[in-house]
């Protein structure tokens, strides 16, 4: 079993600024993912964070808006760039091994 921590747990940001969210897993995992949950909506996959290479983005999400890094097998960051109030959401980091999936506590972002 793996434990995922995220920083920050919540933040309130001004329009036009950027925020980087960190995701740390306490053991090596195969895959890491970033999800977004807008108010009243289900969790939606933003991208798969690939270790040592560019992330794989889902339709509707682009690297310029959501740059992602994954320098090693236990750590990833998601940046929400040039934020607008529409970016107010919960951002969730998830990780997977061959037969297990793990979830972070989420980061609640409010953009004013």
When asked if residue 100 is in the footprint of another protein (CB under 8 A), the reply is yes
Q: Restricting to residues 54-83, which ones interact with another protein according to CB under 8 A?
A: none
The 3-class SS string of the chain reads CCCEEEECCEEEECCCCCEEEEEEECCCCCEEEEEEECCCCCCEEEEEECCCCCCEECCCCCCCCCCEEEEECCEEEEEECCCCHHHCEEEEEEEECCCCEEECCCEEEEEC
Choose which of 11, 31, 65, 67 interacts with another protein (CB under 8 A). Answer: 31
Choose which of 24, 48, 79, 88 interacts with another protein (CB under 8 A). Answer: 48
Using CB under 8 A, count the residues that bind another protein: 26
Indicate the residue among 16 and 24 with the shorter CB distance to another protein: 24
Q: Which residues bind another protein (CB under 8 A)?
A: 9-10, 30-31, 33, 35, 37, 41-45, 48, 90, 92, 94, 96, 100-108
């Amino acid at each position: 079993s793996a434990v995922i921590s995220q920083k920050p747990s919540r933040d309130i940001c001004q329009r036009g600024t950027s925020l980087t969210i960190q995701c740390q897993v306490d053991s090596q995992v195969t895959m890491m993912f970033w999800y977004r949950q807008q108010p009243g909506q289900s969790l939606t996959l933003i991208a798969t964070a690939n270790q040592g290479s560019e992330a794989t983005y889902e339709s509707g999400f682009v690297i310029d808006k959501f740059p992602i890094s994954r320098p090693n097998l236990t750590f990833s960051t998601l940046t929400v760039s040039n934020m607008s109030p529409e970016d107010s959401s919960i951002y969730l980091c998830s990780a997977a091994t061959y037969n297990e999936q793990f979830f972070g506590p989420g980061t609640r972002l409010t953009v004013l």
